[in-house]
Chain A
Amino acid sequence: MTFLPGRIAIMLGGRRWRSLAPLAVLVVLCVLITIANPNFIELRNLVRLANSAAVPLTLAMGLTFIIVMGSIDLSVEGTLSVAAMVVVLLAANDSNGNDYGWWAVLAAIAAGTVMGLISGLVQTMLRIPSFMATLGMWFIGLGLSVYMLGGSAIRLNDASIRNLALHRFLGLPLAVWVALGAFALAAVIQYHTRLGRHILAIGGDEDVTKLSGVNVVRVRIAAFALAGFFFGIAGVLAAAQLGQSHAVIGDGRLFAAVTAVVVGGTALTGGEGGVVNTLIGVLIVTVLANGMILLGISPYIQQTVQGLMIIAAVALSLDRVRLKIVK
């Protein structure tokens, strides 16, 4: 039986001390903020923290698979806004007469999955780098949802969907439980399925993976569809939390998700890291944001700190000396 820190280190994708660094950062951050403002560890604040982590965690689960594979998915905000638009327009709302209830939720998640599927198909069939394919999908999704919403905010009136944000179970909003469910699902996929393993293998060495008889194209398409699936869930949660959908529902989500994945220790070059890393990364990002609010730091300075953090995380995680060329 390995000792707990060792086991966590293995789950975090390595046996080096460095893989424990994100966890250490999280703990230190919590301690420092508590010393500066003891309100931080009040139950009320922790619940608030969990609530604000729900959407980023769900998004980052999907993104983790893509980054582990060595690709990038920039369509986070576009896909999320499409899912939010679909759920609001199909469930009871103040703009049309639809009232499909939970079918709207399923449709929204399906829409997110289809967006991801298209990204995957564009990338593999047209052989367009994921960066450009998903950059395109971002704006396609954004344009589509703004057009369908008619440029205004539309309220979500379905009480049972709103309950995702309002109803609590064991003191936590349902949205938090959904996000934890997404995490559990992502962990099972990564650690216990072929797809998870093939994604990791492609991130490690795509040529060898192909030579081993893995259908790399299919894995790539599946990975992007999977990411879209998580973005779709996140879109539903975001709409439920806001009680509406509008043009800028996705604003800032991409940055937060990428930061969380990278800060958690997943390598942008692929092959290293995973969803457990990302859970810690999301907590670091959320705790830091929450802490800065508690300490009364100006929102603009907060943004600057987040920017510094992502650069610092990459600087610490990469073996940059071995990188011959930096693009």
Chain B
Amino acid sequence: MLQATGIIKNFPGVQALRDVSIEVRPNEVVGLIGENGAGKSTLMRLLAGGYRPDGGTITLDGEQLKLRNARDAARNGIGMVFQEQSLVLNLTVAENIYLGEEDRFTRFGLVNWRAMNAAARRQLAKIGVDIDVTARTSELTFAARQMVELAKALTLEEMVERPLLILLDEPTSVLNAADIEVLFARVRSLKSRASFVFVSHRLDEVLAISDRVYTMKDGAVVAEHRAAEVTAPELHEIMVGRGLQAEYYREARQQPPGDKIMVEARGLGASGFYHGVDLSIRAGEIVGIAGVVGSGREEVTRTVGGFLPHDAGEMKIAGETVRFSSPEPAVRKGIGYVPRERRLEGLVMFLSIAENISLADLSSVMRNGAIDYGKERRLAADWIKRLSIKAPGPDAACRKLSGGNQQKVVLARWMTAGSRILVLDHPTRGLDVGAKEEVYELVRDLSDQGVAILLISDTLEETIGLSHQVLVMRDGEITARFDASPGNKPDQVELLRAMV
């Protein structure tokens, strides 16, 4: 029914999709899996008219499609349920379901809300859920909102003659097990009327609901299976499958840590987030924390970075007891925080490389109380060379760099500020393979120089591969500790057992 051939999509500095071909047949649920950054969401957005491909063709029932926007996709019977919830929270359920389709209820320029509410009620009844259509969407649970989104996608049935194609982009990420079952039951019962593409990184779910599964890696489709003929571990192997795992994470370069304890926590707690956390990081040591969303690991890193003050226990930085109420004192104590959202939190995108590098410690480029621009530029030029940052020069605006090079600028800034402790919060998110390798190389360099590193990452492989020591958190507590010295790396399954 839908055929995408040779799709290419480039973003500044990253090739998100390289020559991707997939096919969706009538009344079929197609699973699409891959790690973060494999290109799943980009492909989905492209099929829904959100992006335009830089190459390749999309055909629907043999007819070539040129999708300029979401409306075009809708006219062709393609609807999407987005990863990030995509309802306008200040509108009611009915208003959301028919947002952009009010024409159908409009006479003489006035919208008949009663008719719209009734139609919305019918839509929700079709998928068998009972939600008040006049409620404000902000008052609904996440699970209910997901159902509303599904109902919204299904309204296309009323406008389009052909069977629908519904794209579900990680619809289960905010749902609990019971809600997932409800969602799956709806999808199965709707299969007679529509085809689905189901994106997730939870392999069991994908296998449970799909007829066929495509595996994506690094912007390309690397495998296609019938769901009945493949197992989750096999898929996982393909999805992650890097022949030389150890080499990828530079394990040979992992040195034993120094003696000096840089970060030490005893019974650390922040009410509502985590409690009783003991941890210590030595100079040159990388400590990774594994855990699912809500395990409290994010909050622990935020406490160390100075964003979330602890209210129980004790934290020592280089032997001195501290409690950070904001990031500023943390920076003064030599802690650098490398956030996951580089665009939002890591760099001031409109400033140049030189200005970003000196931001955390302007005194390093001051002379007689004024900023010495020559010194600032020389400093940046030096870092550009040392970290092989691909940029025209120190004056280039950071927004024009690729993700990997932006990450290097963030790290250069903390090195300039003399950080001896780094908090890496998903340091490779959104980077392509090559850029990731460069970041790993850099992390090893920093570790060699005696920088203590606290790491949380999107994937278990990365956590295990990079760390000297892995802690596992669940429900705000540390549930397991693993030594991860080279040749003695823990297994993912062991970690998973402690995570869930």
User: Contact residues of A with B, CB < 8 Å?
Assistant: 15, 188, 192-194, 197-198, 200-201, 203-205, 207-215, 271-272
In the complex, besides A210-B70, A213-B74, 11 extra interface pairs with C-beta distance below 8 angstroms are A194-B106, A197-B102, A197-B111, A204-B88, A208-B86, A208-B87, A211-B70, A212-B70, A213-B71, A214-B100, A272-B90
Query: Do residues B100 and A212 form an inter-chain contact, with CB atoms below 8 A?
Result: yes
Shortest distance between the CB of B464 and any CB in chain A (Å): 34
Q: Which residues of A contact B71 (CB under 8 A)?
A: 213, 215
Distance between Cα atoms of A192 and B114 in the complex (Å): 11
Q: Which residues of A contact B89 (CB under 8 A)?
A: 204-205
Shortest distance between the CB of A147 and any CB in chain B (Å): 38
Q: Which residues of A contact B136 (CB under 8 A)?
A: 15
Interface of A is mostly: helix
Chain B: CB-nearest residue to A194:
B102
| 14 A-B pairs in the complex with CB atoms less than 8 angstroms apart | A192-B110, A193-B110, A194-B102, A194-B111, A197-B95, A203-B90, A205-B88, A205-B89, A208-B87, A210-B69, A211-B48, A213-B69, A213-B100, A213-B101
| B interface residues, how many (CB within 8 angstroms) | 27
Distance between Cα atoms of A188 and B113 in the complex (Å): 12
Chain B: CB-nearest residue to A214:
B100
Which of B70, B87, B111 contacts A213, CB < 8 Å? B70
> What string of 1s and 0s marks CB contacts (under 8 Å) between B109-139 and chain A?
1110100000000000000000000001000
Q: Which residues of B contact A207 (CB under 8 A)?
A: 86
Q: Does B50 contact A (CB under 8 A)?
A: yes
Chain A: CB-nearest residue to B48:
A211
Shortest distance between the CB of B349 and any CB in chain A (Å): 15
> What string of 1s and 0s marks CB contacts (under 8 Å) between B181-217 and chain A?
0000000000000000000000000000000000000
> What string of 1s and 0s marks CB contacts (under 8 Å) between B83-110 and chain A?
0001111110001000111110010011
Q: Which residues of B contact A271 (CB under 8 A)?
A: 88, 90
Q: Which 3 interchain pairs have the tightest Cβ spacing?
A: A213-B71, A213-B100, A204-B90
Shortest distance between the CB of B136 and any CB in chain A (Å): 8
Chain A: CB-nearest residue to B113:
A192
Question: Known: A212-B100, A213-B71. Is A192-B111 also a contact (CB below 8 A)?
Answer: yes
Q: Which residues of B contact A201 (CB under 8 A)?
A: 88, 91, 95, 99
Q: Which residues of B contact A197 (CB under 8 A)?
A: 91, 95, 99, 102, 111
Q: Which residues of B contact A198 (CB under 8 A)?
A: 99, 102
Shortest distance between the CB of B380 and any CB in chain A (Å): 26
Query: Do residues A188 and B90 form an inter-chain contact, with CB atoms below 8 A?
Result: no
Shortest distance between the CB of A267 and any CB in chain B (Å): 9
Q: Does B82 contact A (CB under 8 A)?
A: yes
Q: Which residues of B contact A193 (CB under 8 A)?
A: 106, 109-111
Q: Which residues of A contact B70 (CB under 8 A)?
A: 210-213
Chain A: CB-nearest residue to B87:
A208
Q: Which residues of B contact A208 (CB under 8 A)?
A: 86-88
Chain B: CB-nearest residue to A205:
B88
Q: Which residues of A contact B80 (CB under 8 A)?
A: 211
Distance between Cα atoms of A46 and B187 in the complex (Å): 62
Distance between Cα atoms of A209 and B152 in the complex (Å): 13
Q: Which residues of A contact B88 (CB under 8 A)?
A: 201, 204-205, 208-209, 212, 271
Distance between Cα atoms of A197 and B152 in the complex (Å): 17
User: Contact residues of B with A, CB < 8 Å?
Assistant: 48, 50, 69-71, 74, 80, 82, 86-91, 95, 99-103, 106, 109-111, 113, 136, 152
Chain B: CB-nearest residue to A273:
B90
Query: Do residues A214 and B109 form an inter-chain contact, with CB atoms below 8 A?
Result: no
Question: Known: A192-B110, A193-B111. Is A211-B90 also a contact (CB below 8 A)?
Answer: no
Distance between Cα atoms of A192 and B101 in the complex (Å): 14
Shortest distance between the CB of A70 and any CB in chain B (Å): 11
Distance between Cα atoms of A80 and B387 in the complex (Å): 59
Query: Do residues B86 and A211 form an inter-chain contact, with CB atoms below 8 A?
Result: yes
Q: Which residues of B contact A209 (CB under 8 A)?
A: 88, 99-100
Query: Do residues A200 and B90 form an inter-chain contact, with CB atoms below 8 A?
Result: yes
Distance between Cα atoms of A205 and B145 in the complex (Å): 15
Shortest distance between the CB of A308 and any CB in chain B (Å): 29
Distance between Cα atoms of A272 and B100 in the complex (Å): 19
Q: Which residues of A contact B101 (CB under 8 A)?
A: 213
Shortest distance between the CB of A286 and any CB in chain B (Å): 28
Shortest distance between the CB of A64 and any CB in chain B (Å): 15
Query: Do residues A212 and B90 form an inter-chain contact, with CB atoms below 8 A?
Result: no
Question: Known: A193-B109, A197-B111. Is A211-B102 also a contact (CB below 8 A)?
Answer: no
Q: Which residues of A contact B152 (CB under 8 A)?
A: 212
Query: Do residues B99 and A212 form an inter-chain contact, with CB atoms below 8 A?
Result: yes
Shortest distance between the CB of B100 and any CB in chain A (Å): 4
Distance between Cα atoms of A287 and B63 in the complex (Å): 65
Shortest distance between the CB of A207 and any CB in chain B (Å): 8
Query: Do residues A200 and B91 form an inter-chain contact, with CB atoms below 8 A?
Result: yes
Chain B: CB-nearest residue to A192:
B110
Distance between Cα atoms of A301 and B359 in the complex (Å): 44
Chain B: CB-nearest residue to A324:
B344
Chain A: CB-nearest residue to B73:
A213
Chain B: CB-nearest residue to A15:
B136
Question: Known: A201-B91, A210-B70, A211-B86. Is A194-B103 also a contact (CB below 8 A)?
Answer: yes
Q: Which residues of B contact A194 (CB under 8 A)?
A: 102-103, 106, 111
Q: Which residues of A contact B100 (CB under 8 A)?
A: 209, 212-214
Distance between Cα atoms of A261 and B89 in the complex (Å): 22
Q: Which residues of B contact A215 (CB under 8 A)?
A: 71
Shortest distance between the CB of B251 and any CB in chain A (Å): 39
Q: Which residues of A contact B111 (CB under 8 A)?
A: 192-194, 197
Distance between Cα atoms of A180 and B100 in the complex (Å): 30
Query: Do residues B110 and A214 form an inter-chain contact, with CB atoms below 8 A?
Result: no
Distance between Cα atoms of A211 and B70 in the complex (Å): 5
Shortest distance between the CB of B70 and any CB in chain A (Å): 5
Q: Which residues of A contact B90 (CB under 8 A)?
A: 200, 203-204, 271-272
Distance between Cα atoms of A211 and B167 in the complex (Å): 14
Distance between Cα atoms of A192 and B74 in the complex (Å): 25
Q: Which residues of B contact A212 (CB under 8 A)?
A: 70, 86, 88, 99-100, 152
Chain B: CB-nearest residue to A196:
B111
Shortest distance between the CB of A106 and any CB in chain B (Å): 20
Distance between Cα atoms of A198 and B90 in the complex (Å): 12
Distance between Cα atoms of A207 and B90 in the complex (Å): 14
Q: Which residues of A contact B110 (CB under 8 A)?
A: 188, 192-193
Distance between Cα atoms of A204 and B91 in the complex (Å): 8
Q: Which residues of A contact B95 (CB under 8 A)?
A: 197, 201
